[in-house]
Chains A and B, each alone.
Chain A
Amino acid sequence: MTRAPLALAAVAVLFGLTALSAPARAVQPDDELGEDSGLGLLRQAAHAVRVQAYYGTQFVTMWNPEGSSSSLVDVTSVPGVGITVKTMAAGEAVPGTVELVDPATPAGGLAAPHDGMIDVMARNFEVTTAGEGRVCGRPTRIVEVMRPGGAPAARYWIDEASGVILRREILDAGGRLARASAFIDFRLPEQAKPGAYTDGNAFFAVADAPALKAKGWDFPATLPGRLELFSADESENGYLQLGYSDGLSMVSVFVQPGTLDEEGLRGWHPQRRGGHTIWVRDSVGQEMIWASGGHVYTVFTDAPADMVDAAVSALPHEAEPGVLARLGRGAQTVLAWLNPFA
C-alpha cells in the first residue's frame, strides 16, 4: 500500500474513469420489481460475481480523517469457490496478502452482497438506474443509491456482458468520496461458462440478542447512519462480536470485559473524537479502540468517516467502574442467588 503518491494517482484514475463513464442518459425511475431496476441489477451483479470467472487488476482508495490510502489489487474469481485477492506493489504480490475470500465479505470488497444486505439497502435508500457508462472500455449500466434527501450515497458500474461490478463508489453525507474501487484491467476467459453457486442459508444471529442482553451484554439494535444490527455473537473467549450494516458498508464492533491496557497498544495513538478519547492507527480501513464502563470496544469498518464518528459516539462511553459498580454487581449476584426461577 502506498500513501500520498498512490492516492494522487488514484484520484486521477478515478476522475478519468468518471469522464469515460459519464451517464449517457437521464436518471430513470426505479422499478424494484423489474430485472432492469436498480435493485434488480444489483442482485444480478451479486450473483454474477459468484458464478462468473474473471480476472483483473483493481484500484482501491479509501479516505479517512487522516488522509487517503490506495492499493492495487489483483483479483481472480473462481466460480463457486471465491475470489483470490493479491495486493500488488511494483508489479509483485506483497507477501502475506494473498487471500482466497468470499466476495460478500469486507475482504472481498462487499462485491457480492447477499439479498438480506440488498434488502437493507432498499429500506434505507432509493436505488435507481442512472444510465450507461464505460469502464475499462466495456459498456456498463450505472446504478445510483440515493439518500432520502436526494444526495448520492453510492454508485455502481455493472458490466453489461458479465454482470460483474466493475466500479463502485461510496460517498459520505456531504457527497465526498469515502471509498472507491475500480478495475483498471478486466478480462473474461474465452468461452467462459458461468459456474454454479449455492447461496448459503441466511442466518440472523440477532435472534440471540435477547439472550445476550439477559447475560449482561448491552448493545444497541441500530446506530446512527441507518446502521442495523445483523449479527450478535458471543465467542468462547468471552468477547462479543456485533455486525452492523446500512446495506452499503459494514461496521464490526468487538466488546471485551476489562479495562484498556493502553501501554500494551503498539502502533496506536489517542485522538479526541466527539469529546471521547479514541485510540486509532494508520490503516486502509478505520480502526478504533476505547474503554467504557469496564469494557473495551474495538471497531473495524470501511464506512464513511462521518458515519463512523456518529456510530462510535452512539456506542457507550462511560467512566471506569468504581465502588458503586462493584456493589451493583454484588447485588445482581445476590439477587440471582435468591431468585428461584433464575
Chain B
Amino acid sequence: MSHLGERVSAFVDGELSHSERERALAHLTFCAACRAEVDSTRALKSRLRSLDGPAMPTDLTMALLRMAEPGDPLPPRTRPFPDKGASFGGVSIPGPYSFAPLDNRPRRGAGDGLVGPGRSTRNRRRAGYVAVGVASAAVALGTLFVVGGSDPKPVVPPVEMFKQQHNTTVPYGTPGPAAPRP
C-alpha cells in the first residue's frame, strides 16, 4: 500500500471505512513517515479545537438592532411615463426612474383614420362591446327562430266536410231536430 497522503486527515477524523482503516493501520506499522504525519495532524486539530470563538463587534450589533425600529415615510412613487417631465423638441425624455423606451409611435390625428399600433384602449373596448353585442343578438335571433317552430305545412281543405257543415248551419239558432242523412 502506498503512503496515506490525503487520507491522513480522514484517518485522524475517523471517517475511513473499516477496510480502509485496517489497511491504513497496517501501513503505519512499518512507515515512520506516515506515522509522523498522522501525529502532527492530530496535534494541529487538537490545538484548533482548544481556541475560543470570535467576538461580535459592538457597532455591528447596534446596526442590526436599528434595522428593527420604525423608519421614515416611503418616498413618493415615480411614474414611469412622467407627464411633465423633461422634454426636448416636444418629445419627452425619460427621467431617472423611467424604465420604458421613448413612445415614438404615430399619433392619432382627428379624422386621419389611422389605426394599428396607435389604436386607443377606448376603441379596443368599444370593439369588444360591439363584438359582444353582435354575438348576443345572433344568439337571441337564433333562439327566437328555433322557438318559432317550423313553417306551416301544406294542407288540402276537407271541402266536402266543410260544405256539409255550411249546409247544416242554422244562422242565429241551434240546429233543429232534423239531422243530415246520406
Contacts and interface: CB of A to CB of B under 8 A. Distances in A.
Contact of A296 (B145, B155, B173): B155
A296 B153 CA distance: 11
Contacts of A321: 151-152
Nearest to B181: A100
Interface stretch (B11-19, B54-62, B88-96, B159-167): B159-167
Contacts of B180: 99-101, 107
Contact of A254 (B157, B179, B182): B157
A278 to B, nearest CB: 13
Contacts of B167: 101, 105-107, 300
Interface in A107-166: 107-108, 110, 113-117, 119-120
Contacts of B153: 258-259
A330 B146 contact: yes
B116 interface: no
Contacts of B156: 260-261, 264-265
A287 B162 CA distance: 10
A103 B168 CA distance: 9
A256 interface: yes
B165 to A, nearest CB: 6
B175 interface: yes
A327 B175 contact: no
Number of chain B interface residues as a range: 35 or more
B149 interface: yes
A169 interface: no
Interface string A218-243: 00000000000011000000000101
Contacts of B147: 329-330, 333-334
Given A230-B171, A259-B154, A321-B152, A252 B162 contact: yes
Interface centre among B163, B173, B181 (most CB of A within 10 A): B173
Contacts of A254: 157, 162, 165
A81 B165 CA distance: 19
A200 B171 contact: no
Contacts of B32: none
Contact of A120 (B141, B172, B174): B172
Interface in B67-107: none
A184 interface: no
18 contacts: A83-B178, A102-B175, A105-B169, A108-B178, A114-B170, A200-B174, A200-B176, A245-B171, A252-B166, A257-B152, A259-B153, A300-B163, A327-B144, A330-B144, A330-B146, A330-B149, A331-B148, A334-B144
Interface of B: 141, 143-149, 151-157, 159, 162-163, 165-182
Given A101-B180, A245-B172, 5 more contacts: A104-B176, A105-B175, A116-B172, A330-B144, A330-B148
